[in-house]
Amino acid sequence: MDIKMNYIEKGQGKPLIMIHGNEESCVYFKGQFDYFADKEFRCIAPDSRAHGDTPRGTAPLTIRQMTEDTIEFMDELGIDKADFIGFSDGGNIMLIMAQKYPERIGKMVIDGANLSLDGAADWAVDWVMGEYNTAFFCSGAWQERKE
Per-residue pLDDT of 7-59, as tens digits, reads: 999 999 999 999 999 999 999 998 898 999 988 999 999 999 999 999 999 99
Q: Which of 136, 60, 71, 79 is nearest to 97 (CA)?
A: 71
Q: Does the pLDDT at position 141 exceed 60?
A: no
Is 71 contained in some domain? Answer: yes
Residue 144, pLDDT score = 42
Orientation of helix 63-76 relative to helix 89-100, angle to 10°: 70
Does residue 2 lie in a domain region?
Answer: no
Same domain for 123 and 111: no
90 and 131 fall within a common domain = no
Q: Are residues 55 and 91 in the same domain?
A: yes
Please report which confidence band the pLDDT of residue 131 belongs to, taking 50, 70 and 90 as the band edges: low
User: In percent, how much of the chain has pLDDT > 70?
Assistant: 84
| 36 falls within a domain | yes
1 occurs within a structural domain: no
What range defines the domain where residue 98 resides? 7-115
Residue 95 within a domain: yes
What is d(CA 20, CA 23) in angstroms, rounded to the nearest whole number? 9
**Percent of the chain whose pLDDT exceeds 90:** 67
